[in-house]
Amino acid sequence: MDAPVRLTKMMEKAREIMTAQDYPKAIRMLTAILEEKTHAYSKEALELLGLARERNDQVAHAKAEYRRYLELYPEGEDAKRVNQRLVGLISAAQTPKEKLRESRITTQPGQEREAEWEVYGSLSQSYQRDASQSNFIDTDVNFEDEMESVNRSEIATSLDISARRRSQDYDLRFQFSGGYDVDLLTGGSGDQKSLTEAFIELDRQSQGLLGRVGRQRFRSSGILSRFDGGVFGYQFNEDTRFNIYTGFPVDSSKDVFIRQDKWFYGANMEMDALIDDVDVILFAIEQRTDHLVDRRAIGTEVRYFDENLSVFGQFDYDIFHNELAMFLFQSNWSLTDDTKAYINLDYRSSPIITTSNALQGQEGVSSIKELSLSFTDDEIYQLALDRTANSTVVSLGGTHFLARDFQLSGDLTVANTSGTSASGGVDATAATGNEFYYTFQVLKNNLLKNGDIGILNLRYIDANSANTYSLTANSRYPVTSLWRVNPRLSLAYRDSDDGTTRLSAGGRLQADYRVKRDLLLEMELGASWNRQESSTTIDTSIDYFLLAGYRWNF
């Protein structure tokens, strides 16, 4: 899924969650949206994140988000609204409150009270089951086969926890996000652990020092993924910070142990307001894999914001392989109060150029060390270049509000991926040519009753090997203040150049019931029907899925 459509869907979900008053879940969703590179929803998502934290009684966090918003977007009616919320929180904090209990900690006049821990998070657990039935007919040889299977049956547990302790001199934070899935299938893949985040961070505000150690992400650094390692920074002044970092890349959250065949080190300089309304970040990084250079890159990120325009650019060049790893350009305009538009360009090597790309297509080889038994270092570097294509994606689109609760949006995306060369026993791949993605969406709030959302999405894909037409309709409907449902229907048809056609239809019903403020019961069930036909075969399948569980926010 291309980034604009994916972010649109994430933002729609975040709005739905806010409407449902599930603020801890909204916080997680909005935080994920803001972790993306600057996009059309950055401004709205940041305001909603502050509001979600405020309504979740995380007053200190809400103040921080509102202040961050005003730093990035200081002008306009939106800024006035956010500033009013911030002033309200500050005024409320200064208003004397009724004393509920006598404090056990006594302080002398002028003495700062000892900092206290703030702990919050969520625990979720669910049963998930996927099953399918299929029927395959080959009329050419008069063959028919039927099969039933259970593809997944597991109990999934997820824990997200944050702990924070702040004073005038320091801010200490611990973050953990992980899970454990119990596989109930006989002969299945077995239980699975996952670790998304696990770090401790100390910010010595009075001295301008910051350190974070553990599993984490660090944006604007040239680091391509999560990593196990450390980041250490020094704040020279309000606008300038220097960071150094080192660690081991993490390919998947399923990798719960530190891998040692790859490691990196790097540094960046963050310069806010280097020129009026322009923020600049410079970075340099080197990554090693076994005894070879995996990646050696320099780059920059530039951001510009004003009341009506935001621009983001990123440049990442591998000076070892002499290849452009990535160039991004994203721009968003507020043409009027009701109309917004964007143009994005994403050019990158695919996958991002690293020496590890040489492993693609090599059967029975899982490391550069093993590959070195068959190829010289220079041959491995060339294999990496041969396995790496170049991808170009250009998107443009916009959103228009016909009314406060009635929104139209559309976008056009053109994508192209180059071919790769044959070498090292791996076949060449052909270029895709230009592929076109057209999307049109209608969104209506308060369709049947106050608080509901209705969304209709039309999409057409003109790809190199097939044309695909799809229609989806979904809604978020508050049955009561505690009970909400989210039905979704989809229909798709694909016509391939080889004469194969595929028709798909599906439905899903998601529901949640709030037992009390911090406990939510969740359920989701659905099915999809698929029929693929060629000149001699018919392949029909029905897939079912079920999820039932709970989420406890604390």
Q: What is the pLDDT of residue 3?
A: 43
Q: What is the pLDDT of residue 249?
A: 96
Position 516 pLDDT exceeds 50: yes
488 CB-near residues (< 8 Å, 6+ apart): 472, 473, 474, 475, 507, 508, 509, 510, 526
Q: pTM here?
A: 0.77
Q: What is the pLDDT of residue 6?
A: 65
Q: What is the pLDDT of residue 487?
A: 97
Task: Work out the mean pLDDT of the chain and round it to a whole number.
Answer: 89
Residue 326 domain-assigned?
no
Buried b (16+ CB within 10 A) or exposed e, 15-50: bbbbbbbbbbbbbbbbeebbebbbbbbbbebbbbbb
Torsion angle defined by CA atoms of residues 542, 473, 488 and 18, in that order, rounded to the nearest 10 degrees: 150
Choose between 12 and 151: higher pLDDT. Answer: 151
Q: What is the pLDDT of residue 103?
A: 36
Residue 23 domain-assigned?
yes
Kindly state the DSSP code that residue 145 receives in the 8-state scheme: E
Read off the pLDDT band of 288 (50, 70, 90). Answer: very high
What are φ and ψ of residue 102, in 5° steps? Answer: -75, 130
Position 291 pLDDT exceeds 60: yes
pLDDT tens column, 164-205: 898 878 889 999 999 999 999 998 889 999 999 999 999 997
If one counts the domains in the chain, the total is: 1
Residues of the domain holding 51: 1-93
Residue 84 domain-assigned?
yes
Q: Are 355 and 384 in contact (CB under 8 A)?
A: yes
* Three-state secondary structure call for residue 490: strand
Residue 77 domain-assigned?
yes
Q: What is the pLDDT of residue 450?
A: 87
Give mean pLDDT, residues 338-367.
95
Read off the pLDDT band of 402 (50, 70, 90). Answer: very high
Q: What is the pLDDT of residue 381?
A: 98
Residue 281 domain-assigned?
no
| Rounded Cα–Cα distance for residues 246 and 213 (Å) | 10
Q: What is the pLDDT of residue 341?
A: 95
Lowest mean pLDDT among 66-80, 290-304, 523-537: 66-80
Read off the pLDDT band of 20 (50, 70, 90). Answer: low
pLDDT tens column, 422-433: 999 999 999 999
Residue 49 domain-assigned?
yes
Read off the pLDDT band of 230 (50, 70, 90). Answer: very high
Position 104 pLDDT exceeds 70: no
| Rounded Cα–Cα distance for residues 385 and 349 (Å) | 10
Q: How many CB atoms lie within 10 A of CB 340?
A: 19
Residue 62 domain-assigned?
yes
Read off the pLDDT band of 102 (50, 70, 90). Answer: very low
Give mean pLDDT, residues 459-470.
96
| Rounded Cα–Cα distance for residues 83 and 95 (Å) | 18
Q: What is the pLDDT of residue 128?
A: 97
Q: What percent of the chain has pLDDT over 90?
A: 66
Give mean pLDDT, residues 469-493.
95
Read off the pLDDT band of 481 (50, 70, 90). Answer: confident
pLDDT tens column, 524-553: 999 999 999 999 999 999 999 999 999 998
Read off the pLDDT band of 409 (50, 70, 90). Answer: very high
Read off the pLDDT band of 24 (50, 70, 90). Answer: confident
* Three-state secondary structure call for residue 466: strand
Q: What is the pLDDT of residue 100?
A: 33
CATH number of the domain to which 57 belongs: 1.25.40.10
pLDDT tens column, 80-92: 678 767 766 765 5
Query: Cα 347 from chain centroid?
Result: 19
| Bridge partners of residue 390, in order along the sequence | 349
Residue 60 domain-assigned?
yes
Longest dimension (CA), the chain: 93
Lowest mean pLDDT among 37-51, 150-164, 247-261: 37-51
Kindly state the DSSP code that residue 365 receives in the 8-state scheme: -
* Three-state secondary structure call for residue 405: coil
Q: What is the pLDDT of residue 458?
A: 98
The two tokens of residue 493 are 């048809």
